[in-house]
Amino acid sequence: MKIGIVCYPTFGGSGVVATELGKALADNGHQVHFITYNQPARLDFFSENLFYHEVSVSNYPLFDYPPYELALASRLVDVVRFEKLDVLHVHYAIPHASAAFMAKQILLTYGIYIPVVTTLHGTDITLVGKDRTYKPVVTFSINKSDGVTAVSENLKKDTYEFFDIENDIRVIPNFIDLKRFSLKAKDHFKRAIAPEGEKILIHTSNFRKVKRTDDVVRIFAQIREKIPSKLLMVGDGGERSDCEQLCRDLGVGDDVRFLGKQDAIEEILSVSDLFLMPSQSESFGLAALEAMACKVPVISSNAGGLPELNLDGVTGYLKDVGDIQGMAESAVYILSDETRLATFKENALARAKQFDLSKILPVYEKYYIEVIEKS
Protein backbone atom coordinates (compact mmCIF):
# COMPACT_ATOMS: atom_id res chain seq x y z
CA MET A 1 0.00 0.00 0.00
CA LYS A 2 0.96 3.64 -0.37
CA ILE A 3 0.13 5.26 2.94
CA GLY A 4 0.21 8.95 3.90
CA ILE A 5 0.78 9.68 7.60
CA VAL A 6 -0.02 13.05 9.17
CA CYS A 7 1.11 13.70 12.74
CA TYR A 8 2.77 16.11 15.12
CA PRO A 9 6.48 15.57 14.47
CA THR A 10 7.42 15.90 18.15
CA PHE A 11 8.38 13.58 21.01
CA GLY A 12 4.71 13.58 22.19
CA GLY A 13 2.95 10.22 22.36
CA SER A 14 0.82 10.62 19.24
CA GLY A 15 3.83 11.66 17.13
CA VAL A 16 5.87 8.76 18.46
CA VAL A 17 3.12 6.22 17.72
CA ALA A 18 2.60 7.63 14.20
CA THR A 19 6.31 7.62 13.40
CA GLU A 20 6.99 4.15 14.79
CA LEU A 21 3.96 2.83 12.90
CA GLY A 22 5.18 4.42 9.66
CA LYS A 23 8.67 2.97 10.12
CA ALA A 24 7.25 -0.51 10.77
CA LEU A 25 4.92 -0.29 7.75
CA ALA A 26 7.88 0.73 5.58
CA ASP A 27 9.89 -2.22 6.93
CA ASN A 28 6.99 -4.44 5.91
CA GLY A 29 7.21 -3.25 2.30
CA HIS A 30 4.62 -0.46 2.23
CA GLN A 31 5.48 2.96 0.85
CA VAL A 32 5.00 5.49 3.64
CA HIS A 33 4.77 9.27 3.15
CA PHE A 34 4.98 11.51 6.22
CA ILE A 35 3.33 14.87 5.68
CA THR A 36 4.04 17.34 8.46
CA TYR A 37 5.76 20.63 9.31
CA ASN A 38 9.05 19.10 10.51
CA GLN A 39 10.95 15.88 10.12
CA PRO A 40 9.34 13.60 12.77
CA ALA A 41 11.63 13.29 15.82
CA ARG A 42 12.00 9.53 15.54
CA LEU A 43 12.34 9.44 11.73
CA ASP A 44 16.08 9.22 12.04
CA PHE A 45 17.21 6.72 9.44
CA PHE A 46 17.05 6.15 5.69
CA SER A 47 14.70 3.62 4.08
CA GLU A 48 13.81 3.36 0.42
CA ASN A 49 10.14 3.10 1.46
CA LEU A 50 10.03 6.25 3.62
CA PHE A 51 9.29 9.72 2.32
CA TYR A 52 8.93 13.04 4.09
CA HIS A 53 6.95 15.96 2.65
CA GLU A 54 7.32 19.20 4.55
CA VAL A 55 4.34 21.48 5.03
CA SER A 56 5.61 25.04 4.95
CA VAL A 57 3.31 27.84 6.02
CA SER A 58 3.85 31.15 4.24
CA ASN A 59 3.42 34.02 6.60
CA TYR A 60 2.11 37.43 5.57
CA PRO A 61 1.82 40.57 7.72
CA LEU A 62 -1.98 40.22 7.51
CA PHE A 63 -1.92 36.88 9.31
CA ASP A 64 -1.87 37.10 13.07
CA TYR A 65 -2.27 33.32 12.95
CA PRO A 66 -0.60 31.57 9.98
CA PRO A 67 -3.22 29.14 8.55
CA TYR A 68 -1.38 25.81 9.03
CA GLU A 69 -4.50 23.75 8.37
CA LEU A 70 -4.89 25.21 4.87
CA ALA A 71 -1.22 24.69 4.06
CA LEU A 72 -1.54 21.09 5.26
CA ALA A 73 -4.70 20.48 3.22
CA SER A 74 -3.02 21.85 0.07
CA ARG A 75 0.07 19.70 0.65
CA LEU A 76 -2.14 16.63 1.17
CA VAL A 77 -3.87 17.28 -2.15
CA ASP A 78 -0.50 17.39 -3.94
CA VAL A 79 0.98 14.35 -2.22
CA VAL A 80 -2.14 12.20 -2.72
CA ARG A 81 -2.37 13.20 -6.41
CA PHE A 82 1.25 12.88 -7.39
CA GLU A 83 2.33 9.99 -5.15
CA LYS A 84 -0.94 8.15 -5.85
CA LEU A 85 -1.63 7.29 -2.22
CA ASP A 86 -4.14 4.58 -1.28
CA VAL A 87 -5.01 5.86 2.19
CA LEU A 88 -4.33 8.82 4.50
CA HIS A 89 -3.82 8.08 8.19
CA VAL A 90 -4.06 11.18 10.38
CA HIS A 91 -2.99 11.07 14.02
CA TYR A 92 -4.57 13.47 16.53
CA ALA A 93 -7.88 14.91 15.40
CA ILE A 94 -6.98 18.60 15.65
CA PRO A 95 -6.36 19.94 13.04
CA HIS A 96 -5.34 16.87 11.06
CA ALA A 97 -8.76 15.25 10.61
CA SER A 98 -10.39 18.45 9.36
CA ALA A 99 -7.45 19.24 7.03
CA ALA A 100 -7.77 15.72 5.63
CA PHE A 101 -11.51 16.23 5.08
CA MET A 102 -10.81 19.44 3.16
CA ALA A 103 -8.16 17.70 1.05
CA LYS A 104 -10.58 14.84 0.38
CA GLN A 105 -13.22 17.24 -0.94
CA ILE A 106 -10.71 19.01 -3.19
CA LEU A 107 -9.41 15.68 -4.51
CA LEU A 108 -12.94 14.74 -5.57
CA THR A 109 -12.77 17.59 -8.10
CA TYR A 110 -9.85 15.67 -9.68
CA GLY A 111 -11.90 12.46 -9.65
CA ILE A 112 -9.85 10.98 -6.78
CA TYR A 113 -11.38 9.43 -3.65
CA ILE A 114 -8.87 9.17 -0.81
CA PRO A 115 -10.02 7.20 2.25
CA VAL A 116 -9.07 8.85 5.54
CA VAL A 117 -8.35 7.02 8.80
CA THR A 118 -8.30 9.19 11.94
CA THR A 119 -6.60 7.94 15.10
CA LEU A 120 -7.71 9.59 18.33
CA HIS A 121 -4.91 9.78 20.87
CA GLY A 122 -6.31 11.36 24.00
CA THR A 123 -6.03 15.06 24.64
CA ASP A 124 -7.50 15.69 21.16
CA ILE A 125 -10.71 14.34 22.76
CA THR A 126 -10.42 14.67 26.53
CA LEU A 127 -8.94 18.18 26.80
CA VAL A 128 -8.69 20.10 23.55
CA GLY A 129 -11.46 18.44 21.55
CA LYS A 130 -14.29 18.92 23.98
CA ASP A 131 -13.38 22.61 24.36
CA ARG A 132 -16.30 24.49 22.74
CA THR A 133 -13.83 26.30 20.49
CA TYR A 134 -13.17 23.12 18.52
CA LYS A 135 -16.02 20.74 19.31
CA PRO A 136 -18.18 21.16 16.16
CA VAL A 137 -15.17 20.71 13.86
CA VAL A 138 -13.89 17.70 15.80
CA THR A 139 -17.32 16.05 15.75
CA PHE A 140 -17.75 16.71 12.04
CA SER A 141 -14.33 15.50 11.00
CA ILE A 142 -14.57 12.30 13.06
CA ASN A 143 -17.94 11.57 11.46
CA LYS A 144 -16.56 12.25 7.99
CA SER A 145 -13.52 9.99 8.40
CA ASP A 146 -13.70 6.66 6.55
CA GLY A 147 -12.21 4.90 9.55
CA VAL A 148 -11.69 5.97 13.16
CA THR A 149 -9.47 4.31 15.74
CA ALA A 150 -8.90 5.06 19.42
CA VAL A 151 -5.93 3.91 21.49
CA SER A 152 -8.03 2.46 24.34
CA GLU A 153 -11.55 1.32 25.18
CA ASN A 154 -11.76 4.21 27.62
CA LEU A 155 -10.94 6.78 24.94
CA LYS A 156 -13.57 5.22 22.66
CA LYS A 157 -16.13 5.50 25.49
CA ASP A 158 -15.17 9.14 26.18
CA THR A 159 -15.43 10.01 22.50
CA TYR A 160 -18.99 8.67 22.29
CA GLU A 161 -19.82 10.44 25.55
CA PHE A 162 -18.44 13.89 24.67
CA PHE A 163 -19.33 14.05 20.96
CA ASP A 164 -22.24 13.16 18.74
CA ILE A 165 -20.50 10.37 16.86
CA GLU A 166 -22.25 8.22 14.25
CA ASN A 167 -19.13 6.40 13.06
CA ASP A 168 -17.82 3.11 14.46
CA ILE A 169 -14.62 3.50 16.46
CA ARG A 170 -12.13 0.64 16.39
CA VAL A 171 -9.81 0.25 19.38
CA ILE A 172 -6.19 -0.35 18.33
CA PRO A 173 -3.94 0.08 21.37
CA ASN A 174 -0.51 1.68 21.45
CA PHE A 175 2.36 -0.72 20.80
CA ILE A 176 6.02 -1.10 21.66
CA ASP A 177 9.01 -2.24 19.66
CA LEU A 178 10.58 -4.73 22.04
CA LYS A 179 13.69 -4.90 19.88
CA ARG A 180 14.44 -1.33 20.93
CA PHE A 181 12.76 -1.18 24.34
CA SER A 182 14.38 -3.88 26.45
CA LEU A 183 16.55 -4.01 29.52
CA LYS A 184 20.06 -2.75 28.65
CA ALA A 185 23.20 -3.36 30.73
CA LYS A 186 23.88 0.11 32.13
CA ASP A 187 25.32 -0.71 35.55
CA HIS A 188 27.94 2.06 35.37
CA PHE A 189 25.12 4.60 34.88
CA LYS A 190 23.17 3.06 37.77
CA ARG A 191 26.21 3.32 40.06
CA ALA A 192 26.74 6.97 39.06
CA ILE A 193 23.14 7.88 39.90
CA ALA A 194 22.72 5.72 42.97
CA PRO A 195 26.21 5.10 44.41
CA GLU A 196 24.89 3.66 47.68
CA GLY A 197 22.56 1.22 45.93
CA GLU A 198 19.53 3.51 46.38
CA LYS A 199 16.35 2.60 44.50
CA ILE A 200 15.74 4.63 41.34
CA LEU A 201 12.30 6.04 40.54
CA ILE A 202 11.56 7.59 37.18
CA HIS A 203 8.98 9.83 35.53
CA THR A 204 9.00 10.74 31.84
CA SER A 205 6.56 13.21 30.31
CA ASN A 206 6.06 16.55 28.60
CA PHE A 207 5.58 18.22 32.01
CA ARG A 208 2.09 19.47 31.21
CA LYS A 209 -0.43 20.05 34.02
CA VAL A 210 -2.30 16.88 33.03
CA LYS A 211 0.77 14.84 34.10
CA ARG A 212 0.58 16.11 37.72
CA THR A 213 4.36 16.31 37.97
CA ASP A 214 4.08 17.96 41.41
CA ASP A 215 2.40 14.73 42.62
CA VAL A 216 5.44 12.84 41.31
CA VAL A 217 7.72 14.91 43.54
CA ARG A 218 5.41 14.61 46.57
CA ILE A 219 5.10 10.83 46.12
CA PHE A 220 8.88 10.60 45.89
CA ALA A 221 9.36 12.70 49.03
CA GLN A 222 7.20 10.21 50.97
CA ILE A 223 8.98 7.16 49.50
CA ARG A 224 12.38 8.66 50.34
CA GLU A 225 11.40 8.90 54.01
CA LYS A 226 11.13 5.09 54.11
CA ILE A 227 13.57 3.88 51.43
CA PRO A 228 16.88 5.43 50.29
CA SER A 229 16.04 6.47 46.74
CA LYS A 230 16.66 8.80 43.82
CA LEU A 231 14.23 10.27 41.30
CA LEU A 232 14.92 10.85 37.60
CA MET A 233 12.66 13.38 35.88
CA VAL A 234 12.91 13.04 32.10
CA GLY A 235 11.38 15.46 29.59
CA ASP A 236 10.58 19.11 29.59
CA GLY A 237 7.57 21.40 29.55
CA GLY A 238 5.64 24.14 31.29
CA GLU A 239 5.57 22.62 34.79
CA ARG A 240 9.26 21.87 35.04
CA SER A 241 10.48 24.96 36.87
CA ASP A 242 7.66 24.80 39.46
CA CYS A 243 8.57 21.18 39.95
CA GLU A 244 12.23 22.03 40.53
CA GLN A 245 11.17 24.64 43.08
CA LEU A 246 8.94 22.09 44.83
CA CYS A 247 11.93 19.74 45.16
CA ARG A 248 13.85 22.53 46.93
CA ASP A 249 10.86 23.38 49.15
CA LEU A 250 10.46 19.75 50.19
CA GLY A 251 14.22 19.40 50.77
CA VAL A 252 14.62 16.54 48.26
CA GLY A 253 16.50 18.48 45.56
CA ASP A 254 19.78 16.59 46.04
CA ASP A 255 18.07 13.30 45.26
CA VAL A 256 16.18 14.43 42.15
CA ARG A 257 17.79 14.81 38.72
CA PHE A 258 16.07 16.64 35.89
CA LEU A 259 17.49 15.17 32.69
CA GLY A 260 15.50 17.16 30.11
CA LYS A 261 14.51 15.62 26.77
CA GLN A 262 16.36 12.40 26.06
CA ASP A 263 16.56 10.20 22.96
CA ALA A 264 17.87 6.97 24.46
CA ILE A 265 15.04 6.69 26.96
CA GLU A 266 15.37 2.88 27.07
CA GLU A 267 18.85 3.26 28.59
CA ILE A 268 17.56 5.46 31.41
CA LEU A 269 14.61 3.15 32.00
CA SER A 270 17.05 0.24 32.21
CA VAL A 271 18.56 1.56 35.45
CA SER A 272 15.17 2.34 37.02
CA ASP A 273 13.18 0.33 39.58
CA LEU A 274 9.76 1.98 39.46
CA PHE A 275 7.87 4.32 37.11
CA LEU A 276 5.52 7.01 38.46
CA MET A 277 2.55 8.18 36.36
CA PRO A 278 -0.03 9.99 38.54
CA SER A 279 -1.73 11.66 35.51
CA GLN A 280 -5.04 13.50 35.73
CA SER A 281 -6.05 11.84 32.47
CA GLU A 282 -4.22 9.41 30.22
CA SER A 283 -5.84 7.76 27.23
CA PHE A 284 -3.32 4.92 27.15
CA GLY A 285 0.02 5.76 28.80
CA LEU A 286 2.66 4.95 26.18
CA ALA A 287 5.44 6.14 28.52
CA ALA A 288 4.34 3.52 31.07
CA LEU A 289 4.38 0.81 28.38
CA GLU A 290 7.95 1.84 27.44
CA ALA A 291 8.91 1.47 31.10
CA MET A 292 7.25 -1.94 31.40
CA ALA A 293 9.10 -3.17 28.31
CA CYS A 294 12.33 -2.36 30.19
CA LYS A 295 11.08 -4.36 33.21
CA VAL A 296 10.01 -1.34 35.24
CA PRO A 297 6.73 -1.73 37.21
CA VAL A 298 4.34 1.22 37.30
CA ILE A 299 2.60 3.16 40.05
CA SER A 300 -0.12 5.13 38.27
CA SER A 301 -3.44 6.79 38.70
CA ASN A 302 -6.48 4.82 37.58
CA ALA A 303 -7.39 7.56 35.07
CA GLY A 304 -8.53 6.94 31.49
CA GLY A 305 -7.06 3.90 29.76
CA LEU A 306 -4.36 3.20 32.38
CA PRO A 307 -6.25 0.23 33.91
CA GLU A 308 -6.19 -1.38 30.43
CA LEU A 309 -2.38 -1.39 30.61
CA ASN A 310 -1.23 -1.40 34.24
CA LEU A 311 -2.70 -4.35 36.15
CA ASP A 312 -3.33 -3.55 39.81
CA GLY A 313 -1.20 -5.72 42.10
CA VAL A 314 0.45 -7.45 39.12
CA THR A 315 2.47 -4.97 37.05
CA GLY A 316 2.25 -2.19 39.64
CA TYR A 317 -0.58 -0.42 41.43
CA LEU A 318 -3.36 2.00 40.46
CA LYS A 319 -4.75 4.64 42.81
CA ASP A 320 -7.25 7.47 42.51
CA VAL A 321 -5.97 10.68 40.93
CA GLY A 322 -4.33 12.76 43.69
CA ASP A 323 -3.92 9.86 46.15
CA ILE A 324 -0.29 10.73 46.83
CA GLN A 325 -0.13 8.75 50.06
CA GLY A 326 -1.64 5.64 48.48
CA MET A 327 0.81 5.78 45.58
CA ALA A 328 3.76 6.28 47.94
CA GLU A 329 2.65 3.34 50.14
CA SER A 330 2.30 1.04 47.12
CA ALA A 331 5.74 2.09 45.90
CA VAL A 332 7.28 1.35 49.30
CA TYR A 333 5.48 -2.03 49.37
CA ILE A 334 7.04 -3.03 46.03
CA LEU A 335 10.50 -1.59 46.68
CA SER A 336 10.95 -2.91 50.21
CA ASP A 337 11.23 -6.58 49.23
CA GLU A 338 13.71 -7.69 46.55
CA THR A 339 11.79 -10.87 45.67
CA ARG A 340 8.54 -8.94 45.35
CA LEU A 341 10.25 -6.27 43.22
CA ALA A 342 11.68 -8.96 40.94
CA THR A 343 8.20 -10.50 40.48
CA PHE A 344 6.66 -7.14 39.59
CA LYS A 345 9.49 -6.52 37.10
CA GLU A 346 8.87 -9.88 35.37
CA ASN A 347 5.12 -9.21 35.30
CA ALA A 348 5.69 -5.76 33.78
CA LEU A 349 7.69 -7.24 30.93
CA ALA A 350 5.18 -10.06 30.37
CA ARG A 351 2.39 -7.49 30.09
CA ALA A 352 4.40 -5.29 27.71
CA LYS A 353 4.88 -8.29 25.40
CA GLN A 354 1.12 -8.30 24.78
CA PHE A 355 1.52 -4.91 23.08
CA ASP A 356 4.47 -5.88 20.90
CA LEU A 357 4.62 -4.16 17.54
CA SER A 358 4.49 -7.54 15.78
CA LYS A 359 0.98 -8.05 17.22
CA ILE A 360 -0.45 -4.57 16.51
CA LEU A 361 1.05 -3.85 13.06
CA PRO A 362 -1.09 -6.48 11.25
CA VAL A 363 -4.18 -5.05 12.95
CA TYR A 364 -3.50 -1.64 11.36
CA GLU A 365 -2.73 -3.24 7.98
CA LYS A 366 -6.01 -5.18 8.02
CA TYR A 367 -7.90 -2.08 9.06
CA TYR A 368 -6.47 -0.04 6.15
CA ILE A 369 -7.56 -2.75 3.71
CA GLU A 370 -11.03 -2.88 5.26
CA VAL A 371 -11.39 0.92 4.98
CA ILE A 372 -10.04 1.05 1.41
CA GLU A 373 -12.34 -1.77 0.28
CA LYS A 374 -15.48 -0.22 1.74
CA SER A 375 -14.70 3.29 0.33
- Min separation Cβ 107 and ligand GMT, Å: 27
Region from 14-22, 35-43, 59-67, 355-363 binding ligand GMT, contact rule CB under 6 A: 14-22
- Min separation Cβ 226 and ligand GMT, Å: 29
- Min separation Cβ 29 and ligand GMT, Å: 25
* Full strand arrangement of the beta sheet holding 256-260: 256-260, 229-234, 199-204, 274-277, 298-301, 316-319
> Of residues 25, 142, 210, 298, which one binds ligand GMT by CB under 6 A?
210
Closest to ligand GMT by CB, 15 vs 316, is 15
C-alpha 219/C-alpha 276 separation (Å) is: 9
Whole-angstrom distance between the N-terminal and C-terminal Cα of the chain?
Answer: 15
> Of residues 51, 55, 79, 92, which one binds ligand GMT by CB under 6 A?
92
Instruction: List C-alpha distances in Å: 361 to 17, 25, 231, 364, 367.
Output: 11, 7, 34, 5, 10
C-alpha 210/C-alpha 218 separation (Å) is: 16
- Cβ(148)–Cβ(93) under 8 Å? no
148 binding ligand GMT? (CB under 6 A): no
- Min separation Cβ 306 and ligand GMT, Å: 8
Which of 13, 5, 53, 269 has its CA nearest to residue 152? Answer: 13
Closest to ligand GMT by CB, 151 vs 234, is 151
CA 333 remoteness from chain centre: 28
Quick note: the x/- pattern for ligand GMT over 284-303, rule CB under 6 A, is xxx-----------------
17 binding ligand GMT? (CB under 6 A): yes
- The SS3 assignment for 356 reads strand
The residues binding ligand GMT (CB under 6 A) are 12-15, 17, 92, 121-123, 151, 174, 206, 208, 210, 281-286
